Every structure is written in C-alpha cells, then in structure tokens.
Amino acid sequence: MIIWKESKIDIGSCGTVSECEHTGLNAHKCIYKSGSCYWYEVASKMCIIIDNDGTNDKPHWIFVGGCYEKGETMRYIEGEPNHSYNFNNL
C-alpha cells in the first residue's frame, strides 16, 4: 500500500515558483526545483476488507480489497512542504 505519492509538472528551465500557481496548483504546497513543480499527497485514512476462507479450527485470512470507491485502500490529503508525517495511526 502506498502511503505517499509524488506528482510533477515540468514548466521549463526558465520557470519560477510563481509559475507553479499558473498550473492551477497551490504554490504554497509545491516544491519548485530545476524547472519542475513537485507536490505530494500523504495517506490520511486506510480501510481494508479481509475474509476468512479457512475453517473454525484453522482460519486463513485473505485480503479482499479496499473499502473506498473502486476498491481503493487509502484516502489522501495534500502534503505540506517541510512538515513531518507520522503514519502510526493508519
């Protein structure tokens, strides 16, 4: 399961951090480096479905899928630059 995602838009070698705003991104949540805007999403919730396909004396748990739309297992929020995230509560 993926607990964080990185996305990137190339804006060219002459780009500036303000150009990240023109892409429709929140520039305060982007990191500008070498002509590209990077932004991150971090997991905020996780929900999985498991099933027992064994017997009462010998259970065998299997992963069925996620609880969210399209069987997804995670919900994400926008990451904040220079913020540390702790995933102990997932």
pLDDT tens, residue by residue, 65-80:
999 999 999 999 988 8
68: left (phi > 0), else alpha (psi -120 to 50), else beta? beta
More confident residue, 85 or 18: 85
CA pair distance 26, 21, nearest whole angstrom: 6
For the chain, give every domain's residue range: 4-78
Does the pTM surpass 0.85? The reply is no
Which residue did the predictor score with more confidence, 84 or 55?
84
Q: Which positions ≥6 away from 85 have C-beta within 8 Å? A: 4, 42, 79
- Rounded Cα distance, 12 and 61, in Å: 50
User: What's the whole-number mean pLDDT along residues 30-44?
Assistant: 83
Residue-wise pLDDT for 11-36, tens only, equals: 765 555 555 665 565 656 777 777 78
